[in-house]
Amino acid sequence: MLAGVTDALAVLHGKGIVHRDLKPENVVVVRDARGVEWPVLIDLGIALAARHNGKPKPFGTPPYVAPEQVAGKAIDGRADIFALGQMIAEIWGGEVPPRFGLGMLRRGNAPAPDSRKPDQRSRRDRAGAQG
């Protein structure tokens, strides 16, 4: 199903359209006459409105919104790819990664923790680094 979503995004992006609100609720599965199931992207209202707006606005649904989208910067298809990554993480891990959740909207564009700083590494990583 996820491969079908990527195919649909490729078609949209090829036409210069960014969905801007990709989330599980906006992917429905339909079955054709042969019984084959296909994912269909729905709710393109934001994409189409934004395409004719000229000035980017931070549309979208947290936690699937890309950081540049939250900041109100110009976006392209990579914002949809970010949202797809969030969906994949949710499917495989049972939840959306928390550092890209609602807290991102409250804190603005706070940088992600630097995993190279010793105080932010796990206890196991610190133990391995000591010897």
SS3 sequence of 15-78: CCCCCCCCCHHHEEEEECCCCCEEEEECCCHHHHHHHCCCCCCCCCCCCCCCHHHHCCCCCCHH
The set of residues, in sequence order, having a beta carbon less than 8 Å from that of 1 and lying 6+ positions away, is 27, 29, 37, 39
- 21 in catalytic set: yes
**Catalytic one among 21, 32, 76, 119?**
21
Q: Which residues are catalytic?
A: 21
